[in-house]
A and B are shown apart, each in its own frame.
Chain A
């Protein structure tokens, strides 16, 4: 068909601009990644798939319906059905892909990332293509009104409602849940890419077989669904190991490290502009804790390698203030959450804020920031954090260390009462 005719008559062409603007507005309105981490900010752009894909499916159904009404499939054509479908579907797929790219670029550029990660984009493109083709196939089989509404609804349910179903890994079959990837210390799980890709290819194959069997009997037409069923089984096997987030630990070899004043600080490449500053804060915190007589690791890292207390794992965002970073160091000094707390009462939990405030104060957190952080923090049965920590800080260091040791012990166990005064354990 003549290109100008396609541009004039194809629904995909007409809706490219509105769909793109909608996708941009949607992404600009609610996603803001704190870090310029390409895979995370690219994945965030995929939030638009929830409506871009169903609309493409409906547009595909509309175009399929047009060809059906025009009797194209009844004609003995020289051009193959796939070529004919390709030209009818091309603008629809292009509309979806342009919208996805616009949404992704909105997300990445807002975070200062110029080049998106290709993996989420690949999944999004294939999902758009598969749903558009499936809509098209439905459009050539059933009346247009039914095909358009059915495609829109089925695609929307698949893209949006799947996320609310159990088991949790079901959400990864549609490709949309890639938007949940990733914090800076994780990378996109390969199976979160391969799973939806396999399902999308299966859907595409089913749509293709449907095109080839429009005049076949019901049994042969039903067989066209076989690739989709096989793909769902394979895709399920691929994603069934994924948990709430489609992420795996990031390759630690990417960490960039600074060695200064006997302190080694490692951050992810996206944080490199602040490495020197963070290294200074880390050295200051370490020196403060040493001066207070507390042992602290000399290796601060954003990675997952190493086991506390040999390393201090911390994280921050590019926009984090120095106080937030020091506060993060202080959190990292706290003992890990005890396993017993998952199954019963955790009496030591109340010591959490007091111990953190103490570490933060000795780690170099300015007093004003400490006060604003814990200004309103108190409870009916416990003293205000600032009040108690001020009292503790006014004591000799050996008293402070005894108070700290008692509360750290309470944090590490579930039965021990925390010491929320300087004299005796809190009752």
Chain B
């Protein structure tokens, strides 16, 4: 289980983004909600070990990435899709995904073979030999998702995977997420409440670096005042004042 224990973090010359943040990430699909600047990206970056906490610790079972000997195993076990997908210039989709797998420790042959599987999972197998630079924004996001799938991670942390996508592209990406193996811990951050649908088991809401809600989808929806038409948005508004 992925755990955040009393984690604090601050970027240079900024006030704390997270302060004494603790969270046991449950198995299953969790949506991470919060307004812009709430700390969602920082939280997922810490979870992926792209960032290190100023204090506290992040661990996966016994694996503590602060310990040098655990770091590689931890990173191999956690897949992270950053908000911005930056393809390596000159690569095809399959090469890009295989490269990500290689970076995560897979052998060249394994990464190459699994890349096609990962592209199939995100419905891009027929684009495998196309240059990444020719892809649309939605296709690029799916390549980003394939990059997190290529190394069979136990935990997938997806940062705003639907940001900037049109409704059709968002629908396709949600279909892809719905096909994720049930034994994978999946955390998807978004500030679009209507992304919830019936895809997720749990909802976590953060605001100004603090967790303001952690519960199942039903409990979250129950926060909406009676008679609300858009219940998810209404529930969210109850937690985040001034946001909708």
Contacts and interface: CB of A to CB of B under 8 A. Distances in A.
Interface of A: 1-3, 5, 8-9, 66-67, 69-72, 74-79, 84, 217
B82 interface: yes
A75 B95 CA distance: 17
Contacts of B4: none
Q: Which of B75, B88, B111 has the most CB of A within 10 A?
A: B88
A271 B75 CA distance: 64
B72 interface: yes
Contact of B105 (A71, A75, A78): A78
Given A76-B48, A217-B12, A2 B86 contact: no
A71 B103 contact: no
Nearest to A67: B88
Contact of A76 (B75, B87, B88, B91): B75
Interface of B: 12, 48-50, 72, 75-76, 78, 80, 82, 84, 86-91, 95, 98-100, 102-105, 108, 111-112
Nearest to B45: A76
A70 B108 contact: no
Contacts of A75: 50, 80, 82, 100, 103
A72 B100 CA distance: 9
Contact of B103 (A2, A8, A78, A217): A78
Contact of A71 (B86, B104, B111): B86
B49 A70 contact: no
A76 B86 contact: no
Nearest to A77: B103
Contacts of B108: 1-3
Given A5-B99, A78-B105, A71 B82 contact: yes
Contacts of A2: 95, 98-99, 102, 108, 111-112
B75 A78 contact: yes
A84 B104 CA distance: 11
A9 B104 contact: no
Contacts of A8: 90
Contacts of B76: 78
A186 B80 CA distance: 62
Contact of B91 (A5, A71, A74, A79): A5
Contacts of A77: 75, 103-104
A69 B80 CA distance: 18
A84 B88 CA distance: 13
29 contacts: A1-B98, A1-B108, A2-B98, A2-B102, A2-B111, A2-B112, A3-B108, A5-B95, A8-B90, A9-B89, A9-B90, A66-B88, A66-B89, A67-B88, A70-B86, A71-B82, A71-B84, A74-B50, A74-B82, A75-B50, A75-B103, A76-B49, A76-B78, A77-B75, A77-B103, A77-B104, A78-B75, A78-B104, A79-B103
Contacts of A72: 88, 103
Given A66-B90, A71-B84, A77-B104, A5 B98 contact: yes
Contacts of B90: 8-9, 66
B91 A9 contact: yes
A66 B103 CA distance: 15
Contacts of B104: 77-79
A66 to B, nearest CB: 5
Contacts of B112: 2
Given A2-B112, A70-B89, A79 B102 contact: yes
A77 B108 CA distance: 15
Contact of B88 (A69, A74, A78, A79): A69
A295 to B, nearest CB: 77
A84 B105 CA distance: 11
A70 B82 CA distance: 12
A178 to B, nearest CB: 36
Contacts of B105: 78-79
A61 B74 CA distance: 31
Nearest to A3: B108
Nearest to A62: B89
Q: Which of A2, A9, A79, A84 has the most CB of B within 10 A?
A: A2
Contacts of A84: 103
A75 B176 CA distance: 23
Nearest to A74: B50
B82 A76 contact: no
Nearest to A68: B86
A70 B87 contact: yes
Given A2-B108, A74-B82, 6 more contacts: A3-B108, A5-B98, A70-B86, A70-B87, A70-B88, A75-B100
B50 A76 contact: yes
A382 to B, nearest CB: 73
A290 to B, nearest CB: 78
A71 B89 CA distance: 11
Contact of B99 (A1, A78, A217): A1
B113 to A, nearest CB: 11
Contacts of A74: 50, 82, 86
Contacts of B91: 5, 9
Closest CB pairs A-B (n = 10) = A70-B88, A78-B105, A71-B86, A9-B90, A76-B49, A77-B103, A76-B50, A5-B95, A78-B72, A76-B75
